[in-house]
Every structure is written in structure tokens, then in C-alpha cells.
Chains A and B, each alone.
Chain A
């Protein structure tokens, strides 16, 4: 996915305010949930918006969440200065099939999860060690042969990173990650 790191705008936009300058330049990671009409081309619109305007996409997931109402939910993890993050949200909001945009990093604090399937091949000590470590990560074995495991592991993205990192010397052969899904804490809908 087009994670091109073009700096969209000069960082120092108002030379009067020292404080503003310093916050404008700080790059923040934001998780944004977007509720869209599940119509043809809607994902292309969102992705095209990011690539066309040079925004980063760190992760993007999408699936229908209400088949009766034909709505899908897109979760995007992106990085940018506060001004760019605001711009991303405003640009998303003005896409015609977008119902709602919620910043789960600022508007409504959210929780994030990612799921990965991790295939590790090997025999002997390494195989035993992989299984032992998977237990520490509460990963489940969802497929096995005499020479391989497929683990299912769920957690925050850095937990998955850590697990994949540990599996690397133990015979890691394949990883498939879902990307981040997120939801706001508390009783309210988005």
C-alpha cells in the first residue's frame, strides 16, 4: 500500500508562535475509523485520497459491518503532523459515501487489535521453543504438520511485531496480518 512519506506541507506555518511550530512538526500516529456506504469503489476512493494527497497509510482494514444498512467500516492507521491529521479527517469526511469519521486516537480513545497467522517450520529444539513461546503470547496453534505450525496470535500491533520477531530465528516462513481494527471504549457507538 502506498506508504510514501512525502511531507505534505512546510512545517512552520506561523513563525509568530514558537509553541505552534514545535507541535506542528511533531509526527503523530492516529487510528481513524470511517463508516462508509458499502458501494462499489468506496475503498478505491479512500486509498486514492491517501495516495493522491501523499498521506501515509500504515495499516488499512475494511469489512462490511451492517449488511442490512450496507455499511462498511474502514480502520486506517496513519502518521502525520496534527495539521495533516486534521486534513486527513476533513478530506475523508467530504467523500460523498462517508457516513462518519472518528479519530480513535483523540476524539474517542479506542482500543486496537490485530490478528496474525504466523507459519513456523522446523524440527527439534526450535520447534519446541516456538511452541513454548507461542504459549507466552497466548497464540493458538490452528494448523500443524510434523515440521510446521501455524499460530494465530491477536493483540496490539507491537505484540504481533514482538512475536514475529521471536519466531524469525525459529523457522519463520510466512506471516499474514489483518491490520489494525479498533473501537472506542465505553458504551457509545461511533
Chain B
């Protein structure tokens, strides 16, 4: 391909197109005007104007997580870049591929405290997988293509390309992506076959096995989910997943135990504690999952498959560590299982399932919906029942509503559940829903929210209205930062310090003010009709669902406790938290 000379801004656009980008999320400003000018003069890339740069990154995350493609963000220098930091950190923690382009002051002004200057690469270094400051247009084409390669290969993550304004005007040659090979970055994709054989042998001889899967399956792609289902069926073993991994395995399947972790099910957490072989595929032993590490699954041999070598033996010592992509490793595992004609230990497995069924009998997610007051769990359950037969995508904010959504909304397919797991970013859900709806215009996209979280990126409803994105914001309104209140009740003597949502807006009027539709449900009896109305409205909706104010989210592994020391809803009164536990988050 003959090299073409073009401006830096044109190189940016051309590289995006060559990388298969059709949508970017952004907000203009002085230092990115040349790129916005180039954007104006083409029609292959659609630009979604957000209302705040944090929203741009979360929208790109929603887009990325629901499509498997990288999300692209374009923001200006200084405040544009610093506003993006929360989103970048969120994407880093949850391994979401994001390419974020930031404008920078012209090279000759860098370091002079110029207007809207900040050290973007310095600020974003710890919250990106990698970042670049492009000093001349000559480097731009290489950096653009490298950025997509780095963001999407290995463990995915956000990258930042900081482009000074003069570089956007400079002319240089453009080269296509096929001509750019990264100098150093070669993530390992195929797992070590000897380790895989060792793992499969352990799996085959297990008496009380358990699959524990995470976001790595989703990130690997739909094939990994399919192979996971095949392998789980082949073995007949139980499976649980982290918050980030929901949907990789069908929730309706009898081998599914529900989510594990702090608000996981009784059966999943007890199985984690009592299993003798734990098969961790693409999860990272996060503290929300492990609880007290020295009491974590004390009797199990642990297998850990992760594309990131640094995840292995980081928190929990494992017996077999396999570095590789989940789909590749699962494919090899199935091949080895079949080649060696392994058969699970039927008797042991029957006993294990009997035990699991006994735990299931505890019905740890049960709640009582009586009277007019809507229980938040009931609201999610009704939302699930009324939307499960549609192509529905769920995003969430962070807090009690998020955990209730994870517990009571059941996912059959990967890429349909978007939540902020690692960073726990209130304000994630609405912009993420915007990104999902952009990618799936005909789908039903619902942000399950809390009345506190939603106010953190509320402004993005305006984006939804502008682009006619019929996202549904389903607010479980208990007038409290519910998870904060719950911890204050359990750990701080019921002193509800600043966790009451004072001076709430009238969400129905707020929706109307934005040009969206507002709905409200206050009684259990009207819930179904209102949800149906919400689904049928072809514009953005804010649904103010008034729920029981003091409902707590159970089951719960209290801080500093082990998996078999869960608090269940019916014995929550007796719950105690150790002094050491109070120190934890």
C-alpha cells in the first residue's frame, strides 16, 4: 500500500476507520478541535456527544462489553482528560478494552502550565494498561494501531493516546494497521499443555469439584462461553461465577449455583468453601469473592486459568496455574478429557450434589413480599419475569440494587450484563446503558439504578434523548445510599451518617424536563403494569420505583469472615462483625 500524506487529525480518523471503529463517544474542546474538524468532514464514524467525559468512557465500556469490540473515546485536554480518569480506572479494573484519545496543548506549551494543560500521561499511567504522548505526527499512525493492539490483546484494558494540538495539524505519512507490529507486547494465548493435562487429571479425580468462573470468559468471547458450557456438561460438575462473569453460563441450567462472593448464594459460597478441586477460569480471587483469605476454601486443590500471569498466585496460592486465553485453554481441556476418556467419580459426585441440594434448600435469596410496600428484590424479580423473553441488556449502578440485580435477574447469555465490578463506580450504569443501546438499537436496555447512584451521571439522560436511545432507568428508590446504610446498621451501631438521600428530585418531573418519560410505582399492585408501560415506551424512561427503605441485601459474608460464615436474611439479627472485620472495606 502506497503511503499517503495527511494531517495528524486525518491520520486519527483514518486509523479509527481501518481499525473497524464505527462509533466514538466524546466531548469537544480546544485541544481536539482539529480532530473534531476531521470528524465533521467524513461520514464513516458516528460521534456520540456525551454530557461529561466520565460518561463517555462508561458509554464506551458498555459498548465494548456488549459487543466484544473496543470502545473509543475522544476528549479534550486538561479537564477533559481528568474527567475521564474514573472511567479509565473502571475499565482497567474490569479489563474492558478502551482506546481513549485525549487532546493536549501544543508541544511547545507542554510543561508551561498552559490553559487546560495537565500531565495526562502522568495522571493516567496508573489507570491505563498503557499510554502514549505523541510528539510528532510521524509517530501517530504507529501509536494508533499499537493502541488498538494493546487494548484488545492479552488481558484487555484501557489505553490513552495523548495528542498535542500541533501534532493534529502536522502532516505525515499514514500506514495501514497490517504494517504495524508491536515491539515487545506478546501476550500468551495458548496454555502450557503439560499444566493443562495436570489440571484435567485433578478435575477428573475430584470428589467435590466446583467451577468458579469470571469476567475472563466474557472477555475471551462467545466461544469461551460455549466451551465452558460444553466442559461443564461433560463433567456434570457444579458451577458458580463472580459478578463479572454472570451470563457466561446459563442461569437456568441445573448445574448453576448462582453467584459467589460477598452477596453470593448460600450454595455457591458453601461449595467454594467445601470443594476439593476448584477450577478457576478467568476470575481473579478478588476480595469480594474470597472473604478472609486464610480461611478461603481450605481443603481444595486450586486450578487457575488466567491470561494475566500476575493474577496467578497474587492473592491465593494455587496448585496448577495456567497462563492463557480461556477459550484456548478450555478447548485443550476438553480435548485432553476426551482423549484420556476420563469419567467423573459418579458416587462422589452424587454425594456432592446431595450436599449442594441441601444448601439450596436453605433458599438464601428468599424474601417475603407482603402488603403494598415493594420489596426491592420483588421489583427485580418482576422486571426479570417481564423482560426475560426479550433481547434485554442490563446495566447497573453500584450498591444494593446492583447486588439485588445480580441475585434476582438471571442471565442466559454472555455480554448482556454490564456492571462496575472492580472499581464499584456509582454513575456507571446510565452512560453504560447509552453505550449498549448505541450498539444494539433494537434491544431493551435497562439500567437498574439506585436513587443515589443515578444522580452521579444523571446528565447522560440528555445524551439518550438527543440520540433517541430508549434506555430505561429503573431506580430502586429507597431514599438511602442503601449499601452504606446497611453497613452502618451492621457495623456502626445504626448511626446513619450522611447516608440519607436528602432533597431528592422528583424523578418523574426530572424525566419530563429532559424530554424523557417519567413513571412511578409506589405499590406492589401497580408494579407489573408500570413495568409493562416502561417497556412499551419508545423513548428514554426514568422509572421511580419506591421500595422498602430499610431492606438489607442478604445473604452477606461479613467483612473478615469466611464463606461458611454467611449471614442469611432470617438470622441477620444475630450477625456480628469482628473488630478486624470493621477495618476492611
| A contact residues vs B (CB 8 Å cutoff) | 9-10, 12-16, 20, 37, 40-41, 44-45, 48, 52, 83, 86-87, 90-91, 93-94, 96-99
Contacts and interface: CB of A to CB of B under 8 A. Distances in A.
Interface in B153-212: 154-155, 183-185
B129 interface: yes
14 contacts: A9-B315, A10-B293, A13-B294, A14-B317, A15-B294, A37-B183, A37-B184, A40-B121, A41-B131, A41-B133, A83-B313, A87-B310, A87-B313, A94-B155
The 4 A-B pairs with the shortest beta carbon distances in the complex, nearest first, are: A90-B310, A96-B130, A90-B309, A91-B310
Contacts, number: 60
A10 B310 CA distance: 17
B274 interface: no
A87 B314 contact: yes
B441 interface: no
B316 interface: yes
Contacts of A98: 184
Contacts of B293: 9-10, 13
B570 interface: no
A44 B130 CA distance: 12
Interface in B282-324: 293-295, 298-299, 308-310, 312-317
A91 B299 CA distance: 28
Contacts of A99: 184
Given A9-B315, A86-B313, A45 B125 contact: yes
B111 interface: no
Contacts of A12: 294
Given A87-B310, A91-B310, A20 B317 contact: yes
B125 A13 contact: no
A61 B295 CA distance: 40
B442 to A, nearest CB: 38
A91 B129 CA distance: 12
Given A9-B315, A37-B183, A52-B126, 4 more contacts: A40-B121, A87-B313, A93-B310, A96-B150
B122 interface: yes
Interface of B: 121-122, 125-126, 129-131, 133, 150, 154-155, 183-185, 293-295, 298-299, 308-310, 312-317
A108 B185 CA distance: 23
A12 B122 CA distance: 36
Contacts of B299: 16
Nearest to A36: B184
Given A90-B310, A91-B310, A98-B184, A13 B126 contact: no
Contacts of A90: 309-310, 312, 314
A13 B317 contact: yes
Nearest to A41: B121
Nearest to A17: B317
Contacts of B133: 40-41
B260 to A, nearest CB: 19
Contacts of B315: 9
Contact of A96 (B185, B295, B317): B185
Contacts of B130: 96-97
Nearest to B310: A90
A145 B426 CA distance: 66
A66 to B, nearest CB: 13
Contacts of B155: 94
Contacts of B310: 87, 90-91, 93-94
A20 B317 CA distance: 10
A48 B130 CA distance: 13
A86 to B, nearest CB: 6
A48 B125 CA distance: 8
Nearest to A90: B310
A93 B183 CA distance: 14
Nearest to A49: B126
A93 B184 CA distance: 10
Contact of A97 (B184, B308, B317): B184
A13 B316 CA distance: 7
A5 B294 CA distance: 21
B309 A48 contact: no
